[in-house]
Amino acid sequence: MKNRTKILLPMGILILLVLAVPVTGQEPEAKKPEKQVIAVYDIEANASTDIAQAVARAKKNNKRVLVVYGGNWCGWCVKLDEFFKKDRTVARTVRYEYEVVKVDIGRFDKNIDIVNKYGAKMKKEGVPYLTVLDGEGQVVANQNTGDLEEGDHHDSAKVEAFLQAKKSAPQDAEKVLAAALGLAKKDGRKVLVHLGAPW
């Protein structure tokens, strides 16, 4: 029995030591970062209200409304949104000539009443899809953005040409002043003339 104890005791201690030593070289698998979805479109937005407000601002400021249909799941929709911000020429035109409304279309099953109202052919031609409205809410143009792409990106010259062609015509300053003076005279008021440019 003594011999067994002499053999078993050191073996038991050895086994305990081996089990107590942490295993190195086997680190737990690092969690892969989840693909981050960029929220370009507000899925809770009331598109009809947003468009109505944009039309009112456009009328007041002699601009157009640029309705951009798409979804957060759409890679080209995210690309177009980034392009509108990063391309300096296009960003300037969008900022000064348009009121932008992004309309979430879900998986082609949301805000379909708006799509149909403005005659957007996004189901046939895909998203992102553009509709330009005037200050009265009338359609000026519908545009498939595939025609504005070049390879794996949007073409700056094509997008800028489209936006420039559809923007509002500049107002005649003399006519605007004459109309304001006429209203002021009729109401017994004065006119404050502000000279400037949008930039």
For residues 63 and 168, the answer to whether their CB atoms sit within 8 Å is yes
Mean pLDDT, residues 6-16 taken together = 61
3-17, 48-62, 72-86, 98-112, range with the lowest pLDDT = 3-17
5 inside domain: no
**194: pLDDT strictly greater than 60:** yes
132-187 pLDDT, tens per residue? 999 999 999 999 999 999 999 999 999 999 999 999 999 888 998 998 899 999 99
9 inside domain: no
* List of residues 6+ apart from 147 with CB closer than 8 A: 158
What is the rounded distance in angstroms from the CA atom of residue 116 to the CA atom of residue 190?
A: 45
Higher-confidence residue of 8 and 85: namely 85
**54: pLDDT strictly greater than 90:** yes
pLDDT value of position 99? 98
174 inside domain: no
For residues 185 and 177, the answer to whether their CB atoms sit within 8 Å is no
What is the rounded distance in angstroms from the CA atom of residue 53 to the CA atom of residue 64?
A: 12
Per-residue burial over 138-175, b if 16 or more Cβ lie within 10 Å, else e, is eeeebbbbeebbeeeebeeeebbebbeebbbeeeeeee
101 inside domain: yes
35 inside domain: no
pLDDT value of position 172? 87
152 inside domain: yes
pLDDT value of position 32? 61
Residue 120 is part of which domain span? 47-166
Q: Residue 94 to residues 66, 131, 197: CA-CA distances in angstroms? A: 8, 13, 15
156: domain CATH number is 3.40.30.10
Higher-confidence residue of 191 and 5: namely 191
Per-residue pLDDT band for 84 (boundaries 50, 70, 90) equals very high
pLDDT above 70 as % of the chain: 79
pLDDT value of position 9? 61
Mean pLDDT, residues 67-91 taken together = 97
The reply to whether omega before 198 is within 30° of 0 (cis) is no
111 inside domain: yes
State the total domains in the chain: 1
**17: pLDDT strictly greater than 80:** no
2 inside domain: no
Q: Is 111 exposed, middle or buried (CB count within 10 Å of its CB: 0-12, 13-18, 19+)?
A: buried
- DSSP of 5-33, one letter per residue? HHHHHHHHHHHHHHHHSPPPS-PPPPPPP
Residue 93 backbone dihedrals phi, psi, to 5 degrees:
-65, -45
